[in-house]
A and B are shown apart, each in its own frame.
Chain A
Amino acid sequence: MSQEKAVSGPLPVVDWLKGADTDDPYLEGHRCDECHAVFLGERSTCSRCSARDKIKAVRLSARGKLYSYCIVHRSFPGIEVPYISAIVDLEGGGTIKGNLINIDPDPEKIAFDMPVEVVFKDALGRKDKDGNSYLSYFFQPAA
């Protein structure tokens, strides 16, 4: 059956999550040496300054601040709601989007610029058609 095709260890939820099968997973950005813009995923040319071949992989910080968010109450069938869709500016550059967990989905409880940390967990039990499990990232209020 499809389970037989599953590889050992979780796969990364996005290709810029590195070390999914290690005990030190992290998010990888690509930074332009010319203008310091930070991108997610590999590229050769900077879309900010158009410099070529100046992009280098960097390990993104696991700490950041909440820039914006919304609270999702209606989603597609099978997706648990409510949840917080959050946009986080990471320390040292890079902005990423993800679920903000371990806090009530209530605007009274959520503050702009609140410090958050990136944590890595199983992707809510979601598996692909071959039965592989995935490691995802989440945000939670910083300790």
Chain B
Amino acid sequence: MSDVYILGVDMIKFGRFPEKTVPQLGAKAALMALDDAGLTIKDMEALYCGNLGQASAMVGQRILQEIGQTGIGVVNCSNACATGATAFREAWMSIKAGVHDVVLAVGVEQMGKGLLGGGGAGNGIPKEGLLGSGTMPAVFAEAGMEHARMYGTTFEQFAKVSVKNHHHSTLNPKAMYQIETPLETVMNAEMISYPNTKLMCSVNVDGSAAAVLVSEKKAREIGMSRAVKVRASVLTSDPYSDRDLVMPDVNAVTRKAAAKAYEMAGLGPEDVDLVELHDCFATAEILHYENLGLCADGEAGKMIDDGEVGLGGRVPVNVSGGLLSKGHPLGATGIANIYEVSTHLRNEADKRQVEGAKIGMTHVIGLGSACGIHILESVA
């Protein structure tokens, strides 16, 4: 099986673009990624498109209507917040399978403001606030409190994640926000679901990201100087766990994916130079330090206290600003993360560059649940 390389990858600056359509947003990132690869849509053999909000509306084909209807096969996919990573992985698999040599993956989302989750009335009466809460801030607060229960993790430690990621985003011009948020500001912000304040919740934004994936043969033909090698691509669903049906288990699904990814890459967590992980809420990031093996179980609180996950630390996490500050356009997130890590591996991340980065990891969780992990390697 051929190795798979990323030759072009880019994302639009995340923001709010109500005047644009979803295909227009997706088309923009697609063209940027094609330009980055030095290719055109006429070179693409297939398109893998990830979007949630218009999952049944043929977004991929409508992107081609914006940039070139070449008649290639299009796969539209939705997989909650793992949607972008799933589209990228489908593209990767098509090359692995030997079906294609050059394909395009696009993730795109246009979001409203406000709380996600919670659901409607169904057949009876609304259950929100009656049978607990199904809103995302609450669900991830409960997951964080499980960690607090096991290891004594504090509100302050959770809040420090947000301080770090907002700081990182001041160095990322493509992030939604570039604002420092000191610890007191984070902890005193409006409480949404304890222990997550408003500044500890990801930002709902519009965004898109895209990547051009190629076979090794094609990479050598076109030129490898800025290529990024895909060392592992893994997707898991949540294995059975006792409380999973009332308390989505984001840990087991991640641990399973991480173990498979390290095995596929022939690497371990100690080899990883930077990580973009799914900080949909500050509480979630803490869990994933352990789930991804970046530290031993029970040491995540210490890891944030000691600054190991900040830029310049032992293993910088979410130097893009993360979902907390760069923003979280659901279907785009899993490719935007790949853009961020690739940019460091290409040594093109400017002020936020993780020095000497050779191996990077991306991680997303779609609640319900799906986990996508990619391990990428610098080729240069």
Please give the residue numbers on chain A whose beta carbons come within 8 Å of chain B beta carbons, in ascending order. 11, 13-14, 37, 39-40, 47-48, 67-76, 79-81, 83, 85-87, 89, 95-99, 107, 112, 123-124, 126-128, 134, 136-137
Contacts and interface: CB of A to CB of B under 8 A. Distances in A.
Contacts, number: 125
Contacts of A83: 129, 133
A47 B246 CA distance: 14
B97 interface: no
B124 interface: yes
Contact of B125 (A40, A96, A134): A134
A70 B131 CA distance: 13
Interface centre among A80, A85, A127 (most CB of B within 10 A): A85
Interface string B171-208: 00000000000000000001111111010000000000
15 contacts: A68-B247, A70-B144, A72-B133, A74-B190, A76-B135, A79-B128, A79-B129, A85-B133, A85-B142, A89-B243, A95-B245, A96-B246, A123-B125, A126-B130, A137-B131
A39 B193 contact: no
A128 B127 CA distance: 11
Nearest to B240: A48
B19 interface: no
Contacts of B125: 13, 123, 126-128, 134
B60 interface: no
B129 A87 contact: no
B132 A86 contact: yes
Contact of A13 (B124, B137, B242): B124
Q: Which of A69, A72, A89, A112 has the most CB of B within 10 A?
A: A72
Interface string B103-147: 000000000000100100100111111111101011001111110
Contact of A99 (B129, B145, B191): B129
Interface of B: 115, 118, 121, 124-133, 135, 137-138, 141-146, 149, 155, 190-196, 198, 240, 242-243, 245-247
Contact of B192 (A47, A74, A86, A137): A74
A98 B191 CA distance: 20
Most buried by A among B145, B195, B196: B145
Contact of B146 (A68, A97, A107): A68
B190 A136 contact: no
Contacts of B130: 13, 98-99, 123-124, 126, 136
B145 A69 contact: yes
A75 B124 contact: no
Contacts of A69: 142, 145
Given A85-B142, A123-B125, A72 B131 contact: no
A126 to B, nearest CB: 4
Contact of A68 (B145, B191, B192): B145
A13 B132 CA distance: 13
B145 A47 contact: no
Contacts of B145: 68-70
B247 A97 contact: yes
A85 B247 contact: no
Contact of A74 (B137, B142, B146): B137
Given A11-B124, A75-B115, A70 B195 contact: yes
A97 B132 contact: yes
Contacts of A98: 130-132
